[in-house]
Amino acid sequence: MRKPKLAVWKFASCDGCQLSLLDCEDELLAVAGAVEIAYFPEATRGVVRGPYDVSLVEGSVTTPHDAERLHTVRRQSRTLITIGACATAGGIQALRNFKDVREFTQAVYARPDFIDTLATSTPIKAHVNVDFELHGCPINKHQLLEVLAAFLNARKPNTPSHSVCVECKLRGTACVLVRGIPCLGPVTHAGCGAICPAYNRGCYGCFGPMETPNAPSLSRKLAACGMGERDLQRVYSTFNVGELPFREEAARHGS
Amino acid sequence: MNDHAAAVITHEGLGGLIAGLRAEGFRVIGPRLRDQAIVYDDIESVADLPAGWTDEQEGGHYRVRRREDAALFGYNVGPHAWKRFLHPPLLRLWRAERSADGMTVTATSEPAERYAFLAVRSCELHAIAIQDRVFLQGPYVDPHYKARREGAFIVAVNCGQAGGTCFCTSMNTGPKAEEGFDLSLTELLGDRHEFLVEVGSERGAALLAAVPHRPAERQDAAQAANAVARAEGNMGRHMRSDDVRELLLANLEHPRWDDVAERCLTCGNCTMVCPTCFCTAVEDENDLAGNAAERKRRWDSCFTMDFSYIHGGSVRSSGRSRYRQWMTHKLANWVDQFGTSGCVGCGRCITWCPVGIDITEEVRAIRGEGGSDGRA
Ligand code: SF4
Ligand code: SF4
Ligand code: SF4
């Protein structure tokens, strides 16, 4: 039987999510055994031509060229899975969506007229059909392996979309928010295993909004923990600011 | 309950009880200070107990504080419940592997170790009794719970004070441990820091006999009764519970459900910390090559969308319907299902709700008795 062909594509991103695949260390051989790594420039120069059975797509669309390229990726991919906050929500670079990008290019580049960039950073789903979205900034490698194992064996991946709080409770962490430390866990999508609260820090919301977030209620609690209006605006304006529940909550706060 | 007279032990005797249990092969679990909370974890000696610590609890608020004395059990229930051990949060049920002639399925064997729980509060004894009904006394016995529960040794502790969110007196579940323990302690704080021990079983009596102790005198019993009366007198919360089933079932469309939905985060914390909530989800996994598969069971919550997912979507998609499901199950439908309330008044769901939603307050509001809205 022919091994399924895997491709890994990069758009506007930091490469951290693709690195999660290389970071699989112990499981890397199993991955290489289960699929043919056909296109993965971060790992190998060898290129096997498409079409591909599974494409992992990292990054958001920020240039007209990328918007075009994404369609060619979609055409060559039987299954297209986005990995990470950039690909699923637009990433931290989606902060540009609320400002004038021309002003930025003029401030940063000596010859802004050479810069061909879009006014917005948008997720992959805004351009092409997406089969599955894996959240996280960066993604969790165990979840990546779970998603690959699920797709290769034609079953639904176990990547629950409830709050991070459930993961905190499974691991037995005493809630930091109830102990006075601001935490975004109640409005954040599970998947990281609730790492930060286990180290006495609040959740930063890396995995984006959970299935039914109630950010206004959480914000009242965060304010009671001492966060000011400006802090509240910022805390929702990070890697997943492109997701509506966070964007709207950020907009409700400010100076 | 039995004819064994009460006795009094010192720290030395308590140390002897712990050592005795360990010598008999029990894994002793009890209160420890960790991450600024009093959690349940392995205990090797008296030195592991949270001497001189207490907790301050309110809706969505928990802090550990120093006490002025060296009480070992001078706190109230914290973030953990004993269900962590009897009904583990994550359990592999079986593993299957492809073999030459098909497939081999291996069920996970139950742990051989037996638990001894140290410092189980009265509300917690009632919670364990409720989970016993759910897991052991219906037509379908849960073998995993049974393996952990059978033979577990229980050392109860009577509360000498109530926490800010406690309401066991309202639920008739405390603060005095009446049954369901092998030994029960009451901490006697004063010039002589001692513990009154009551015996609840023959093996409890045997363990006590092996450690240094003296017979309890009238004044010891009086001091212990005072401690319990103090706890009874300073419950942080109250809830009228005799008619709550009828009250809730008659108010399924009460506007208060919308009000609570506006505050509820649907985070699921209340169900996870509740010592009686028992729901689980089952997940199947397989390796990349498709040669091995596992079935796992993990705690689930009626606050998740997956919980009520059937073909086409989730039955309870609004926060309103999920909070209502939780509270009406806990306080009303549980009675029809299991012949007992699902709430023992431990207050955990109030303390560990990030926004301090208070079940007693919600009941009062539905009753039309007003009060604060419980907002954080
Ligand atoms: S620490 Fe944060 S994520 Fe964990 S239970 Fe508390 S609020 Fe939820
Ligand atoms: S419903 Fe709340 S107070 Fe009642 S037993 Fe559960 S956690 Fe304790
Ligand atoms: S009642 Fe509180 S703990 Fe329970 S789901 Fe709602 S916000 Fe979370």
Reading the block at residue A84, the tokens are 């990470």
Tell whether A90 and A148 lie within a shared domain.
yes
Enumerate the residues of chain B whose CB falls inside 8 A of the CB of residue A183.
Answer: 354
Average pLDDT over residues B246-274: 98
Q: How confident is the model at residue B2 (pLDDT cuts 50, 70, 90)?
A: low
Quote the CA–CA distance of A89 and A103 in Å, as a whole number.
Answer: 23
- Taking the C-alpha atoms of residue B23 and residue B207, their distance in angstroms, rounded to an integer, is 11
Token couple for B167 = 């309401």
**DSSP element (H, E) containing B284:** strand B280-286
Tell me, yes or no, whether A64 and A147 share the same domain. Answer: yes
Same domain, A228 and A129: no
- CA gap B254, B324 in Å, rounded: 10
A60 and A28, same domain (yes or no): yes
Task: Say yes or no: A146 and A49 in one domain.
Answer: yes
Enumerate the residues of chain B whose CB falls inside 8 A of the CB of residue A154. none
Domain match, A28 and A119 both: yes
pLDDT for residue A237:
97
| Residue A64, domain extent | 5-152
Helix (H, G, I), strand (E, B) or coil at A55: strand
- H-run or E-run covering A59: none
Q: What is the pLDDT of residues B288-316, one digit of tens each?
A: 999 999 999 999 999 999 999 999 999 99
Is the preceding peptide bond at B50 cis, omega within 30 degrees of 0?
A: no
Residue by residue, DSSP assigns B189-218 as -SSS-EEEEEE-SHHHHHHHHTS--EEPPH
Q: Do A170 and B354 touch (CB under 8 A)?
A: no
Give the per-residue pLDDT at B373.
Answer: 43
Chain B residues closer than 8 Å to A200 by CB: 35
Domain end position, chosen among A96, A126, A152 = A152
Q: Is B356 left (phi over 0), alpha (psi -120 to 50) or beta?
A: left
pLDDT cut 70: percent of chain B above it? 98
* Ligand 1 neighbourhood includes A206 CB (under 6 angstroms): no
In a domain, A226, yes or no: yes
**What are the sequence ranges of the domains in chain B?**
6-232, 244-367
Residue B376 has pLDDT above 80, yes or no: no
ipTM of the complex: 0.95
CA of A169 to the centre of ligand 3 (A): 13
CA distance A127 to chain B (A): 26
Its pTM surpasses 0.90: yes
Q: Which residue has the higher pLDDT, B121 or B190?
A: B121
CA distances from B129 to A147, B169, B290 (A): 40, 17, 42
Do A170 and A53 share a domain, yes or no?
A: no
In a domain, A158, yes or no: no
Question: From the centroid of its chain, how far is CA B204?
Answer: 22
Find out whether the beta carbon of B376 lies less than 6 Å from any atom of ligand 3.
Answer: no
Give the tens place of pLDDT for each residue, B82-129.
Answer: 999 999 999 999 999 999 889 999 999 999 899 999 999 999 999 999
Q: Which of A111, A130, A152 is the last residue of a domain?
A: A152
pLDDT, one tens digit per residue, over B118-168 is 999 999 999 999 999 999 999 999 999 999 999 999 999 999 999 999 999
Tell me whether residues B319 and A214 touch, CB distance under 8 A. Answer: yes
Q: What CATH number corresponds to the domain at position A23?
A: 3.40.50.700
Dihedral-angle region of residue B30 (phi above 0 means left; psi in -120 to 50 means alpha; beta otherwise) = beta
| Residue of the CA atom closest to atom 2 of ligand 3 | B353
Boundary of a domain, candidates A101, A128, A152: A152
Same domain for A81 and A10:
yes
Q: Which residues have a Cβ under 8 Å from the Cβ of B347 and sit 6 or more positions away?
A: B57, B76, B77, B163, B164, B165, B166, B167, B236, B237
**Percentage of chain A exceeding pLDDT 90:** 95
CB contacts, 8 Å: B309 with chain A: none
Contacts of residue B370, defined as CB under 8 A and 6 or more positions apart, other chains included, come to B364
Cis peptide before B175 (omega within 30 of 0): yes
Sign for the pseudo-dihedral over CA of B376, A226, A192, A139: positive
Within an 8 Å CB–CB cutoff, is residue A197 touching chain B? no
Distance CA B116, CA B125 (A): 13
pLDDT at B371 over 70: no
Residue listed under structure tokens 């009060």 = B371
- Nearest atom in ligand 1 to the alpha carbon of residue B354 is 7
Going by CA atoms, what residue is nearest to atom 8 of ligand 1?
A165
Residue among B255, B237, B262 nearest A220 (CA): B262
Number of structural domains, chain A? 2
Do A175 and A112 fall within a single domain?
A: no
Å from CA of B327 to ligand 1 middle: 21
